[in-house]
Amino acid sequence: MIVKLWFLLFLFFLLFFGKAQQGVVKAKVQDSLAEAKSSTTNISEVIIQSAPRKMKMSDGNLVLSVAGNRDFKTSTHLLDVLRKTPGVTVDQEDGIFVGGRITPAILIDGKPVVMSNQELQAYLRSLSPEMVESVEVNTNPSSKYDAEFKGVIDIKLKKNISLGWKLGYNGNVYINRFNSRENAVNISYHTGKVTYSVQTGYNEGISTYRYHALQRLANTNIMRTRTYQEDFGKVYNLQAGADFRLNDKNRFGLNLRGNFRNIDRIRNGSLYTTDQSETNVVVNTASGNPTAYSQNNYGITADYSFQNKGFKISFLGNYLSVNNKQNDDFINKDHGTANVLSYWKSDLFNKINIHTAQIDASQKINNTDIEAGVKYSHSDTNNNIRYDTLSAGNQFVFDPTRSNIFSYKEKIWAGYVSYRQKMGKFQINAGLRFENTSSISKTVTLDSVVSRNYLKWLPSLSASYTFNAFNELSLSYSRRITRPVFSQLNPFRFYFSPLNYWIGNPYLLPSFTSQIKATYRHKNWITSFTVGKEKDVMTRYPLYNPETNVLEYLGTNLPYRNFAILETSFPVRITKWWNITSQIAGYYNYEFRPYMEEVFALNIYNYELRLNQVFSLPKGFTVNVFATYESKTGNSLYIIKPRYTVDVSLQKSWFDNKLNTKIGFNNLLDSYEQRLEFRHKQIMDNRFTHWWDSSRLIFSLSYTIGSSKYQVKETQKTEEENRTR
């Protein structure tokens, strides 16, 4: 079906826009044939030519040019660019993944950005494609990077040095049932010695989410769960910084920022239970869950660097404070009589403080580079959640079974040394990293204390060989550690519905991944193969209580999993006005999973297809059609059904490219919901669907004025800040 859909889209655009181009093509066809006689193949009236060099390799990593790349002219922002980047996936909630489901670190000019996940998404939306020189995707980072980073996306901004001031505005409007708006203003002033910058933004709007589940209960009854959620969100952010170039050798930077988020959530649901024949109603209840949520972030970054000839030393210090507050009401009523069956309230306060400091030094000697560094980080998180339940006396009383106080403190000492040497067409990189982690978690209500202290050595090795300008080969190995994020450790209940929630596990262990990756490039065709093994895999599993019909999702460590990934991407130029980039990825996963006194170990295979078509039309218009297909996948417990999506967009620049306008429709067919089904019906028959409002009409406008083209230095984000999500 999806193949037929793509074919129809090709045919439609070929016929529709082919007429518009017919005069131009006929006038130039003879010249094109003459010029391309030795390097093109003529198939009827379609000329297939090799595409311009838009992809290359660097140490075995894909590097994709962005500014000036026709594939991204209709992209509204950099997050949209990443959706079309080979090896990168962006989900419905704008989460970024590589290598399947690995959350990568985002780097700006080689340095991680200091932002929460929500701030990072807003920042990527504020970057137009023309502000970015290239994107590098690294799915096997060396020991130089924090061990938490199993993947890295390095965004290189365009380098500009003109003096003066510059003002830029980016605005996006998303339209479906509800509207949402994004606004970002960037101001910079460069004197030659000092660069001052101010970045501010205001976003507001409504997003919706639906959850449907069907479950056959232990007593043979059938329960249907429905949840509908609306989030009314407002986000304000302000960032100010100064970059001092003291002289040719010394540089100092300071950056202050604040981000303030308020969300009012309305979540309504129902539990509709019938007998096995589905004719007699057993239970019919309605639930309401209004929520008020706020988050205030404050951060400061200071950095200093000294560089003289082949020697460089740099210091980076970070402080981040995150404060979360949330108040919930959980009201369950009989659908027929409207009588209150249960009512409880929650009051949550969460505070996270992170301090980091690191020093890096490097020395270049001829064709050899030696680097070393040391880093210290201290994270402190405190969570206090109180539940009060409506009693028989119509009074709210403290509920100790749900309430809890949880704190987590973590200190990490890390260091690395790396060696790189280039010998003609051959290059070798070797590195060794150590990380010593000491942590303590306290759960007051459960009177539980978990203390850990461990030292791990993490090597990496890579080699690459360039045969000629068209062919190169790379082989790399690395060992990485993944520590549990704070939400995975927090033993609180997070409710999806009155009978469905998940709980964190303070006893989770970190996981360790060893993998080997081979990459080969032939012209613009890049293929990579990764194979590896992960031990103590962190995951969630369902636990059903047949007496209460409560379904919990709990955290645990699996013994191990084996995995393999095969990816390939290649651009093809059909005509001067029609370019296609194809991406194909295949995945293998073998998960050894003990569950309910049994062991489930299945070989799971799945694949993904992406097709990005760009049509360059007369008068500077560009049309883009982007389609994806994901086959059936899952794990040892769940099957995830296939899904696909189609995006269409149109772009036009005005006033010497100062004004850029775009219009598009994402998820045109509203076909990207996620459907899961429990495999083992003898244990539990459970099916559920997640749906997000990703089917949207988008209007985008960006405008830039001013003489300066100097690119402001970006601040950094540490491994610990990634784990606050």
Is pLDDT of 462 > 90?
yes
Is pLDDT of 3 > 50?
no
What is the model's pLDDT at position 123? 78
What is the model's pLDDT at position 150? 86
Answer for the pair 579, 614: CB distance below 8 angstroms, yes or no.
yes
Residue found by looking up tokens 């509908």 in the block: 228
Distance (Å, rounded) from C-alpha 353 to C-alpha 407?
12
Q: How confident is the model over 392-421, as a mean pLDDT?
A: 91
Q: How confident is the model at residue 647 (pLDDT cuts 50, 70, 90)?
A: very high
Helices (H) and strands (E) in the chain, counts: 5, 40
Is pLDDT of 576 > 60?
yes
DSSP calls for 187-231: EEEE-SSEEEEEEEEEEEEEEEEEEEEEEE-TTS-EEEEEEEEEE
Q: How confident is the model at residue 132 (pLDDT cuts 50, 70, 90)?
A: confident
What is the model's pLDDT at position 713? 47
What is the model's pLDDT at position 36? 37
What is the model's pLDDT at position 95? 85
Is pLDDT of 310 > 70?
yes
Average pLDDT, the chain: 85
CB-CB neighbours of 5 under 10 Å: 15
Q: How confident is the model at residue 160 (pLDDT cuts 50, 70, 90)?
A: low
Q: How confident is the model over 162-187, as a mean pLDDT?
A: 87
Q: How confident is the model over 448-474, as a mean pLDDT?
A: 93
Q: How confident is the model over 317-333, as a mean pLDDT?
A: 92
Is pLDDT of 442 > 50?
yes
The structural domains of the chain, with segments of one domain joined by +, span: 2-706
What is the model's pLDDT at position 161? 56
User: Would you call 269 exposed, middle or buried from its count of C-beta atoms within 10 A (0-12, 13-18, 19+)?
Assistant: buried
Statement: the pTM of the whole predicted model exceeds 0.85: no
- Cα 63 to Cα 60, 569, 666, 716, distances in angstroms: 9, 12, 26, 21
- Report which of residues 376 and 24 the model is more confident about: 376
Q: How confident is the model over 534-563, as a mean pLDDT?
A: 91
User: What percentage of residues in the chain have a pLDDT greater than 90?
Assistant: 53
Residue 67 corresponds to which tokens in the numbers above? 């500014």
The dihedrals phi and psi of 339, each to the nearest 5 degrees, come to: -70, 140
CB-CB neighbours of 90 under 10 Å: 18
β-strand 598-616 against 500-503: which pairing, if any?
unpaired
Distance (Å, rounded) from C-alpha 111 to C-alpha 473?
26
pLDDT for 73-83, tens place per residue? 888 888 889 99
pLDDT for 675-686, tens place per residue? 999 999 888 899
Within 33-177, strands assigned E span 41-43, 46-48, 55-58, 61-65, 88-90, 96-98, 105-108, 111-112, 132-138, 152-157, 164-175
What is the model's pLDDT at position 159? 65
Is pLDDT of 381 > 80?
yes
Q: Which of 57-61, 310-314, 511-515 has the lowest mean pLDDT?
A: 57-61
Q: Which of 27-36, 180-189, 450-459 has the lowest mean pLDDT?
A: 27-36
β-strand 500-503 against 550-575: which pairing, if any?
parallel
Is pLDDT of 473 > 90?
yes
pLDDT for 475-533, tens place per residue? 999 999 999 888 888 888 877 777 888 888 989 999 999 999 999 999 889 999 999 99
Is pLDDT of 247 > 50?
yes
Distance of CA 166 to the CA centre of its chain: 30
Q: How confident is the model at residue 25 (pLDDT cuts 50, 70, 90)?
A: very low
Is pLDDT of 436 > 60?
yes
What is the model's pLDDT at position 715? 43
Is pLDDT of 648 > 50?
yes
What is the model's pLDDT at position 658? 85
pLDDT for 617-630, tens place per residue? 998 899 999 999 99
What is the model's pLDDT at position 114? 62
Return the SS3 of 5.
helix
Q: How confident is the model at residue 108 (pLDDT cuts 50, 70, 90)?
A: confident
Answer for the pair 356, 377: CB distance below 8 angstroms, yes or no.
yes
Is pLDDT of 98 > 60?
yes
Largest CA distance in the chain: 91
Nearest to 55 by CA among 527, 625, 650: 527
Distance (Å, rounded) from C-alpha 609 to C-alpha 587?
12
Is pLDDT of 35 > 80?
no
Q: How confident is the model over 395-418, as a mean pLDDT?
A: 92
The domain over range 2-706 is classified in CATH as 2.40.170.20: yes
